Structure 1
Amino acid sequence: MEVILASTSATRQSMLRSAGVMATAVASDIDEAPIKQSFRDAGQSAAAAAMALAREKALAVSARHPDQLVIGADQILDCEGRWFDKPADASAAAEHLRKLSGRVHQLETAIVCAAGGACIWAHSEAPRLKMRPLSDAFIAAHIRSEGDRILYSVGAYRLEGPGIQLFERIDGDFFAILGLPLLHLLSFLRQFGVLPS
C-alpha cells in the first residue's frame, strides 16, 4: 500500500522522507476557513478544530485514492484563546510575533490516517511554547533574515531554524511542533504493515 500525505507542506514531506517514509504529496483542496469558523462559532476548542481539519483533509484525498493510506494533518496555534492562522505577509508576521512575545502558546496538532474513504487512526498533541519578550528591532531583523519562509508557519517562526532564538521554554514533542507527531505515526505505520517492525 502506498502512502499519500494530504498536504503540500515541505516540512511534513521532509520529515517523512528523512524517517524513510516515501509518501506522495497530494493537496486536499478543502476550504479550511469555514470549518475553523464553525468551530469558533460553536465555542469549540482549537484542538477539536485541528482534528476536524486533519480528518477532512485525509478523507478528501482518500475518496480520490481509496486504495492508498492517506495521512492528514493540521495545526492551530492557540494563544490565550486566540487562534492564529499563517501570516499573509511580513507585516502580519511581525504582528503575530508581537502578540506572542512574552507569552505561552499551544500548537494544537492533529493527525488522521484514512484508507478506503474511512478514518482508521487519529492522534493529537499539544506542545506548549514560551516565547521570550521580543523587541521590535529583533522582530524586524528576524523577519528580514527568514524572508518568505516564515509565512508557512502559523507562528511566523521556524523552530528548526533561527526561530529557536525566540523561545525561553518548550514543552512537548519536537516533531509535533513542526506539524507532524512523527513517533506516534511511525508506530502506527509499523502496526499497519506499511513499515517493517
Structure 2
Amino acid sequence: MSTPQLILASKSASRRAMLDAAGVQYDAMPADIDERVIEQNLRGATSSEIAEALSVAKAVALAGKHLDALVLGSDSLVVAGGKRFDKPTSRDDAAEHLRFFSGQVIELHSAAALVRGETCEWSHADCARLHVRELSEVFIENYLEQEWPEISYTVGCFRIEAMGVQLFERIDGDQFTVLGMPLLPVLGALREQGVLLS
C-alpha cells in the first residue's frame, strides 16, 4: 500500500522547518482563503475554535483540488489583554503591538487539521501562554531594526527561533505550539493516516 501524498497548506517557514526536522515528506502550497470572512461567521467562538476552523478551511481549500492527497492546514492566533491581534500591517503597527504586549501575557492559539477530499479526518488546537517582559522604547526600536520585515509574516510580532525570544521572561506551553503548529499531535495523526510509520 502506497503512502498518501501530504500537502502542507501553508507558506510558513516555521511550519515547513518543523516538518523538515521531523523527517516528514510533503509538498507545500499556500491556501487562498479569506480569513476575515470565516472569522465573521464564527462570532462567539473561542480563539482556539477559530484557529481550528481556519486550519480546516485552509486544508479544505486545497483538498478539493488534490483529491488523492491528505492536506494539512494550520493556523495561529494571538490574544493579549482580551484583544485579538493579527499580523502587523506595517512597522509602525508592529511597534504598537509590542507596546501593548509589554508586561502582559500573550495567549498563542495554534491549531492544525487534516483533510482528505471533503472530509476533515482530524483537527486539534493547543494554547501557550507567553509572559512578555517590560519592553523599553529603545529595545522596541532596535528589535524592529533587526527583525523587520521578517516578523510582518507573524502574529505576535516575533520569531521565537530568532531575536523574538528576547521579548519573554517565561513561556508556559509546548515549544511547537509557540512555533505555530501543535507538532506532536500532528505527527500522531499522520501515523494514524498512514503517512508516517507507526
State TM-score, norm by structure 1. 0.95
Q: How far is 1:162 from its partner? A: 1.0
SS of residue matched to 2:11 = coil
Q: Does 1:5 align with 2:4?
A: no
CA distance in 2, matches of 1:31, 1:147: 25
Which residue number in structure 1 is paired with residue 39 of structure 2?
36
Q: How far is 1:28 from its partner? A: 1.4
Q: Which has the higher helix share?
A: 1
CA distance in 1, matches of 2:44, 2:137: 33
SS of residue matched to 1:96 = helix
Which residue number in structure 2 is paired with residue 68 of structure 1?
69
CA distance in 2, matches of 1:196, 1:43: 39
Which residue number in structure 1 is paired with residue 175 of structure 2?
174
Which residue identity is paired with 1:182?
A: L
Which residue identity is paired with 1:5?
A: L
CA distance in 2, matches of 1:25, 1:47: 24
CA distance in 1, matches of 2:148, 2:111: 27
Q: How far is 1:147 from its partner? A: 2.1
Query: In 2, are the aligned partners of 1:28 and 1:60 still within 8 Å (CA)?
Result: yes
Q: How far is 1:80 from its partner? A: 2.4
Deviation string 1:48-69 (CA, Å, 9 cap, x unpaired) is 1111111111111111111101
CA distance in 1, matches of 2:188, 2:53: 22
Query: In 2, are the aligned partners of 1:36 and 1:49 still within 8 Å (CA)?
Result: yes
Q: How far is 1:113 from its partner? A: 0.3
Which residue identity is paired with 1:4?
A: I
State TM-score, norm by structure 2. 0.95
SS of residue matched to 1:168 = strand
Query: In 2, are the aligned partners of 1:13 and 1:23 still within 8 Å (CA)?
Result: no
Q: How far is 1:137 from its partner? A: 0.7
Q: Does 1:17 align with 2:20?
A: yes
Q: How far is 1:37 from its partner? A: 3.0
SS of residue matched to 2:41 = helix
Unaligned runs of 5+ in 1: none
CA distance in 1, matches of 2:154, 2:169: 19
Deviation string 1:116-169 (CA, Å, 9 cap, x unpaired) is 221001111000110001001100000101121111111111111111111011
Query: In 1, are the aligned partners of 2:70 and 2:115 still within 8 Å (CA)?
Result: yes
The 5 A counterparts of 1:151-190 are 151-190=152-191
Q: What is the RMSD computed on CA atoms of the aligned residues?
A: 1.1
CA distance in 2, matches of 1:73, 1:93: 23
CA distance in 2, matches of 1:137, 1:72: 38
Unaligned runs of 5+ in 2: none
CA distance in 1, matches of 2:195, 2:62: 18
CA distance in 2, matches of 1:141, 1:30: 34
Which residue number in structure 2 is paired with residue 83 of structure 1?
84
Q: How far is 1:38 from its partner? A: 3.3
Which residue identity is paired with 1:25?
A: A
Query: In 1, are the aligned partners of 2:7 and 2:71 still within 8 Å (CA)?
Result: yes
Question: Identity over the aligned pairs, expressed in percent?
Answer: 46
